[in-house]
Chain A
Amino acid sequence: MTLLLVEQLGKEFGGVHAVSDLSFTIKSGTIHSIIGPNGAGKTTLFNLITGIYTPSSGRICFDGKEIAGRAPFELAQWGMSRTFQNLQIFFNMSAMENVMVGHHLHLDRRFLPSLLRLPGIARGDEKARDISAELMRFVGLEAYVKAEAQSMPYGALKRLEIARALASKPKLLLLDEPAAGLNATESREIDEVIEKVAQSGVTVVLVEHDMKMVMGISDHILVLDYGRKLAEGTPDEVRNNPVVVAAYLGGGAAP
């Protein structure tokens, strides 16, 4: 079943075409990677899909709904969440609270009951705490359940973002360079987390430079260059595509 449909999508920044005439689909239950050289438009594409940018042209359908131009919080309500290449952690809160904010949509968040701390609010918070602790264990952060976000190392914060996104119970999770800045061991561990997420039934879209990771875990790969689709297919198809090899290694290196 198609979960995300992108059709002739385009985004211009003052005459620069960051993304142009891009069409692809993402089936639910898969791990889908987007790769390409620096400046290929990967993060722009993420920002378009998640509602941070509004497309200049084209359409995006998520789960049967037209979503171009919708705010990120609305998309989260429909089941889409993401992480960021440059962390967007709430450093003024504890690690646990970061994940609890992720659960925001599934809690009673009416103003007056919150103000009076009615029993329902306290119960909801209790449940949110349990779910958050569970998710922190799921991504391998059991050591940080009581930590403040600002005292956590970089690699742990990357996982914290994944836990926070999962707490919103997404159907589609977009991960922007989850392995960037991690060492080989950490990056392998993130690998496992991503596969576990996919097995739990969440469709994953990945932007990543770590080719070993991409080739290892992806069901489907989309290659971008200068904001356009260069190639698409299974890891094997993409690996053996001469156009892709040329884009990565320079024109002369093509076999």
Chain B
Amino acid sequence: MASTSRWAGLGALAVFLAVLPQVLPNNYYVDVAVLAGFNAIVCVGLNLLIGYAGQISLGHAGFFGLGAYSSAILVTHYGWPPLAALLAGALLVGLLAFAIARPILKLKGHYLAMATLGIGIIISIIINTEAQITGGPDGIAAGNFTLGGFELKGERAWYWVIAVLLLVTVWLATNLVDSPVGRALRALHGSEVGAEVVGVDTTRYKVLVFVVSAVIASIAGSLFAHYTSQLTPTKADFFKSIELVTMVVFGGMASTFGALVGAAFLTMLPQVLTVFEDYEPIILGGIMMGTMIFMPRGLVPTISAFLTRRRS
């Protein structure tokens, strides 16, 4: 991505995020926007892994959940300050992701997908069963996020925090993609052996991007624990992982702005289609299949390719 179009994209996103709360009629919509923001942050990180580096994770909700529960547990049971709990959660998730990825990513193929599938399910089971500390299926309340004397509460205050965080995440992600590190990631997606013979340590880069995307999910999870009144295990389960992957694939692989669109769309969808609640997995599956068949590159890249063709 050229640097001018990157700044144009970031500027457009900033304007959109600034204007959006002015047009949202009530706090219910602001709440949906905040939830979309959380998903978008996770998806921008996940897109670095799936879209750019071509590796699949089926357990990112596990990392989100691990961050969320680390925060909730450390704050409620041990009285940690929220920021310290967030950083501890991120460190824990980073180390766990490294420990999983290092042996697995030496292998080529879909071993990472299998390993992350397993680890996501294990995290989900632990959260559900260790009820004395996690609250089990009933969940746990982490309380408001406080920093110094400041207490973060109310949908609108959260909206601005998440909007700024999202903007920063997008900025960092687009920086990374257009750097020697990002080119190495895209190259190993294109041809692992081709990247190796010009000096790219493909294992190292795969581990790096996996850890980065897991840590982003963890940080978003930690903040989410404070945003939601009651943190429940469904936020960390396998279905949530699939939802995140669908957001990335639908919005557009290897497109940071695609990840935003995918996250926003699939967060809103269940709100609009509340009558179909029981059919949500079917709808999600349908969207995934439809995307793979009709626009395998995802929504945003397909549209942008179409517009470029029209113009020329």
Contacts and interface: CB of A to CB of B under 8 A. Distances in A.
Contacts of B79: none
Interface of A: 50, 52, 71-73, 75-77, 81-82, 84, 88-93, 97-98, 100-102, 104-105, 107-109, 111, 114-117, 121-122, 124-125, 128, 161, 164-165, 167-168
Contact of B179 (A72, A93, A121): A121
A11 to B, nearest CB: 17
Contacts of A161: 194
B189 interface: yes
B198 A88 contact: no
B181 A101 contact: no
Given A72-B193, A92-B254, A114-B179, 10 more contacts: A75-B197, A76-B197, A88-B191, A104-B180, A104-B198, A115-B176, A125-B178, A128-B180, A167-B198, A168-B198
A44 B178 CA distance: 36
B183 interface: yes
A121 B172 CA distance: 13
Contact of A88 (B181, B194, B254): B194
Contacts, number: 108
Contact of A121 (B180, B186, B187): B180
B115 interface: no
B189 to A, nearest CB: 6
A109 B184 contact: yes
Interface residues of B, number: 28
B149 interface: no
Q: From DSSP, what is the main secondary structure of chain A's interface residues? A: helix
A165 B197 contact: yes
Given A111-B208, A117-B175, A76 B187 contact: no
B160 to A, nearest CB: 23
B25 interface: no
A120 B273 CA distance: 49
Nearest first, the 5 A-B pairs at minimum CB distance are: A90-B190, A88-B194, A76-B199, A114-B179, A109-B180
Given A88-B193, A92-B189, A101 B176 contact: no
Contact of B180 (A116, A124, A167): A124
Nearest to A164: B198
Given A90-B190, A92-B189, A71 B180 contact: no
A109 B186 contact: no
A72 B194 CA distance: 10
Contact of B202 (A73, A75, A77, A98): A73
10 contacts: A72-B197, A88-B194, A89-B190, A89-B194, A92-B254, A97-B183, A97-B186, A109-B179, A165-B197, A167-B198
Contacts of B179: 109, 114-115, 117, 121, 125
A108 B181 contact: no
